[in-house]
Structure 1
Amino acid sequence: MTSPNPAPGPAEGVRDDTTDSPADSPSGATGSPGGVALAVALYVGARLLVVAVIAGVLVAVGLPLLVSLLIAIVVALPLSLFLFRGLRARLAAEVDAATASRRARREQLRAELRGDAPGEDP
């Protein structure tokens, strides 16, 4: 005897972005273009600052500038993965919120074009 098929639902490991809202996200991500730009600017600025600090220390030690920059870039890459975990999470949350917002607007526009807009009598 076989069991009946379960009701269809979201697949394992697949996010259902239709229920996410900026208020539900733990980081308070808005998904607005300004929020995404700010998150990108903070993350990139922090990474560049780490490269500059490491290169500055190496130049102060006596290494040539170009060699110091190359070493600083190589060292800063893995270092920033650990140092800026929070900034990366904030950036990912902003991008996810922006994607969900765009998806919702696109679905709303498609519904309006089909004539399924809410509040409209057929």
Structure 2
Amino acid sequence: MCPCGGCKPVAYAGQVSDANPSEESTAPQPGTSPGRRLARNLALYTLARLVLVVILTAVIMAGAWAVSVQVPMIVAILFAIVIAMPLSLTLFKGLRGQVNSDIAAVDERRRRDKAQLRARLRGEAEPAGSAGTEPGESGRGKSGKPPKGAAEGEESGGTGGAA
């Protein structure tokens, strides 16, 4: 339940759980979808970089205070951001690699789904488990082309006139 007390837990397709939602682990399991892994890893990487900027800002401000120099906070933050950029590439190399591999997995899935959709729209792919022709394929074969003997633009059993 949420803090307001009025919301009810929602079960999504394929999600079955007898556990109390407050007892469930918030960490995704290894079998989660690439999109969820990407979101989690990207959030962790972003948080790690922000924490690095905060730490570097504190170090810069402490260093300035140690040598009795006044450094404006905005200047310290800007220097911390500039220093954190290349530093995060080396410190968080593993996490960045996971984010890159998750992006590649999500992109591959999108390409595959897009190609499958285009093939279905062309009438080339037959849905799994269905027999016969799909609706709208009357007089056409699996290739989406009219049967032999039918001219381009002419349906089988038609009058032969232009449409």
**The TM-score by the shorter chain falls in which range?**
0.5 to 0.7
Q: TM-score, normalised by structure 2?
A: 0.52
| Identity, % of aligned positions | 40
Answer yes or no: is 1:112 the counterpart of 2:114: no
* CA–CA separation in structure 1 for the residues paired with 2:95 and 2:32: 12
Counterpart residue identity of residue 45, structure 1:
L
Partner of 1:48: 50
* CA–CA separation in structure 2 for the residues paired with 1:103 and 1:111: 12
Partner of 1:31: 34
Partner of 1:5: none
Bigger relative CO (Cα 8 Å, ≥ 6 apart): 1
Query: Highest Rg: 1 or 2?
Result: 2
Point out the structure with the larger helix share: 1
Large movers: runs of 4+ above 2 Å: 28-31, 118-122
Q: How many residues align?
A: 95
* CA–CA separation in structure 2 for the residues paired with 1:37 and 1:103: 19
Which structure 2 residues correspond to residues 7-18 of structure 1 after superposition, within 5 A? none
Which structure 2 residues correspond to residues 54-65 of structure 1 after superposition, within 5 A? 54-61=56-63, 62=65, 63-65=71-73
Q: Which runs of no fewer than 5 residues in structure 1 stay unpaired?
A: 1-27
Q: Which runs of no fewer than 5 residues in structure 2 stay unpaired?
A: 1-30, 66-70, 133-141, 143-163
